[in-house]
Amino acid sequence: MSTLPKVKGLRGYDYYLYQGFWYDPFFLEGIMSVQDRFNPQSTDIFVSSSPKTGTTWLKALTFAILTRSRLSGSTTSSLLTKMPHDCVPFLEFQLADQNPSYRDLAIPLLSTHVPYSCLPKSIISSSCKIIYICRDAKDAFVSLWYFLAKMQRSDNVEPLPLEEAFELFCNGIANYGPYWDHVLGYWRASLEFPEKILFLTYEEMKKDTAAHVKKLAEFMGCSFTLEEEEGGGVQKIISMCSFEELSSLEVNKSISSPIQNSVFFRKGEIGDWANHLTPEMGARLDDIMEKKLKGSGLKL
Ligand code: A3P
């Protein structure tokens, strides 16, 4: 790591440039470790994303969809007692030290923030599936800034001013950034391997959550039966995983080391950027995204 280019990143300490992306050193160690050693099960499904684009929501939805057939009678979903991040472990975090206790082999659901081009080759070459979520860059940036600022305050560190963090973000320097390259990597792969990669946006999922819940189930190979649909099965999952429900659960309000679970639930709205960035800042980031995504067929 000491040989890699580095800059002062959004968390106030050095971020390292590795294989074209910027990383917080803690996660970079995990990535290097899994790139060499991780072997998936052929049935594994990865929830993949750039930070702050809806990972927690997508984890909750996929977990609830995949495990729904196990619930019967008085059995309730683990989502009511465990945070979504503890139901679906992170590849480069919980699984980096090869600790098998984090993996429930019966639930083939894992997650990662690793960019597509940096994923362990074993994931690309296997029959694993990947569900990717992304979001308007302005909302992703604001969400990231608030998240990191909360973490910094809890470490008694003064957060980087929003304007400085924005400048870094616009220059591609963000956790797992450049943001546009993260999105484009998965977008292009989803066009090439549509049966392996499902590409979603937070905005579309918000607009029609029911259609997406059904699409997710179909992609994961566990479509809803007509009986389930008529019995309100889709709606039940949407309600259980809604921002309001999840954020009001005791477990998601609690403090668990090293960070408070509640930091993963802020507003859960589309367009909140406008309350924090000036119109000029918004236009600048829109312009960058438009230029970077030009010709890709993707509009965010
Ligand atoms: P905001 O900061 O804009 O509110 P991630 O899960 O990738 O860290 O993304 C966090 C963002 O998703 C935060 O956005 C958070 O509030 C929002 N979020 C968390 N749970 C959600 C849910 N159940 N439904 C919709 N959005 C949710």
The pLDDT of residue 105 is 84
pLDDT band at 255 (very low <50, low <70, confident <90, very high): low
- Domain residue limits, the chain: 6-293
Q: Which residues line ligand 1 (CB under 6 A)?
A: 49, 51-57, 60, 139, 143, 146, 241-243, 246, 264-268, 272
ipTM of the complex: 0.99
pTM reported for the whole predicted model: 0.96
Between CA 48 and CA 150 the distance in angstroms is 23
Q: For 6-293, which CATH class? A: alpha beta
H or E element: which one contains 137?
helix 137-154
Q: How confident is the model at residue 257 (pLDDT cuts 50, 70, 90)?
A: low
pLDDT tens per residue, range 179-224 = 999 999 999 999 999 999 999 999 999 999 999 999 999 999 999 9
**What is the model's pLDDT at position 258?**
63
Q: Which protein residue's CA is at the shortest distance from atom 17 of ligand 1? A: 268
Mean predicted confidence (pLDDT) in 124-131:
96
User: For residue 97, what pLDDT is reported?
Assistant: 76
Q: Quote the strand ranges of 145-216, DSSP E.
A: 197-201
The predicted pLDDT at position 71 comes to 76
Supply the pLDDT for residue 238: 97
Cα–Cα distances in angstroms (integers) from residue 297 to residues 49, 255, 291, in the given order:
19, 42, 12
CA dihedral 123, 125, 128, 129 (to 10 degrees): 100
Nearest to 180 by CA among 294, 81, 39: 294
Pocket test for ligand 1, best of 266, 272, 276, 277 (most atoms within 8 A of CB): 266
